[in-house]
Amino acid sequence: MIEPSQISSMTVAERLQAMEQLWDALCREPEKMSSPAWHAEVLADRKARAERGEAKFLTLEQLRARLRVSAT
């Protein structure tokens, strides 16, 4: 097990690489992971809103513009 002090001493690039390696390892065993119940509830709510025509969608360009504004 890696100690928190070891993580703190890593560069940002090393931490990102470690996160990528962890994510890759988790993705190889999807049957061992389960989503919490509230994920299903959120997805069901979003689907119902879309089916009722109440959902609002952004184009990719609108999303990019929103992200640029929120990043400043």
pLDDT per residue as tens digits for the range 1-45 = 889 999 999 999 999 999 999 999 999 998 998 999 999 999 999
pLDDT of 50: 97
Determine whether 28 is exposed, middle or buried from the number of CB atoms within 10 Å of its CB (0-12, 13-18, 19+).
exposed
Q: pTM to 2 decimals?
A: 0.51
